Structures are given as structure tokens and as C-alpha cells.
Amino acid sequence: MISITDIAYIAGLFDGEGSIYYARRKEKKKKHNGKGYRTSMSQRISMEIAMTDEHVIRWVHEVLNVGTVVEKRKKGLRKNGTPYLKQWKWRCTFREAYYVCRLLWPYAHTKLNKIEKIIDHYSGDIVMNNKIINLEEYKLAMSLE
């Protein structure tokens, strides 16, 4: 069980350092047999946090228990001649992103619009305790407790 404090911290971290990619569009795909291409509606859903602090990225992965952690190498040097710092990236896609969005939704601010798009994509409604919830009412109720 993930603590509310950890979820809220990750939501803040994600608001500041994270990114969400959500797109539904037509894509041309090569036909497997024969020549030419076929067109289909495709969805791309992913979430990631990238930073130089490996410990924080691994902690996020450990707490959420979804996604992957990879080293994100940046080649070359900065304008002043010093090397770039090594970055670490936590990333999840599709249903794992939906799971994370459901956790972060009550605490997100900056990325809230995209989080709600992913939740709507999978569920159609934001439901908590078998009730459709309005975010503003939920936050107000949580602050009164």
C-alpha cells in the first residue's frame, strides 16, 4: 500500500520534472505482407520523469512498482566545455500510465489536464468509491478533514 504522503510527493515531483505524452492520430503502417501502407488510428500514451538524481528516480520506481528506469546519456559538452551530467529516466506507458494517473489525480496541478485525458481514455469517468467525482469538490472535502 502506497502512503498518501508518497503519492502527493510523487505528484509534486511529476508536476515539476515529469512529462506526459497523449496522442490519438492516424498513422501509416507498413503492410506486413505485400507492398504499400495501411492507415490506422493509433494511440500513444506515456509518462516520464527525468533528472540527474538517480536515487529519487529509483525510489519512484520502487514505490509505484511500475515502469522502467534507464540511464539517459547525453553526448558532447556544454558551451562552457564541461560534460553534461548523467540523467536517469523513469517511464511507463499505456495501462501502467493509467494506474499512475489514478494515483496522482487528486494531487496534480500542472499536469492535471493531461492526466484527466488518460483517465478518460480508459475509464470515461473519474470514479472514486463508486461515485463520479469533481476534482474541485474532492480537494475542498480533503482540506476540511
Percent of all residues in the chain with a pLDDT value above 70, rounded to a whole number: 83
Q: Which of 45, 46, 51 shows the shortest CA–CA distance to 16? A: 51
Assigned architecture for domain 4-26+39-144: Roll (3.10)
Residue pLDDT, tens place only, 9-62: 999 999 999 999 998 788 777 776 777 777 777 788 999 999 999 999 999 999
Task: Give how far Cα 74 sits from Cα of 52, 69, 70, 71, 78, Å.
Answer: 11, 16, 13, 10, 10
* Backbone angles phi and psi of 123, in degrees to 5: -115, -25
Widest Cα–Cα separation across the chain? 63
- Determine the Cα–Cα distance for residues 115 and 74; give it in Å rounded to an integer: 28
- Return the higher-pLDDT residue of 99 and 136: 99
The answer to whether residue 118 scores a pLDDT higher than 70 is yes
Across the range 94-109, mean pLDDT stands at 93
- Return the higher-pLDDT residue of 136 and 44: 44
Handedness of CA 59, 63, 65, 66 (dihedral sign): negative
Place of cell 511507463: 92
Whole-structure pTM value: 0.74
Q: pLDDT value at position 69?
A: 97
Q: Are the beta carbons of 103 and 8 closer than 8 angstroms?
A: no
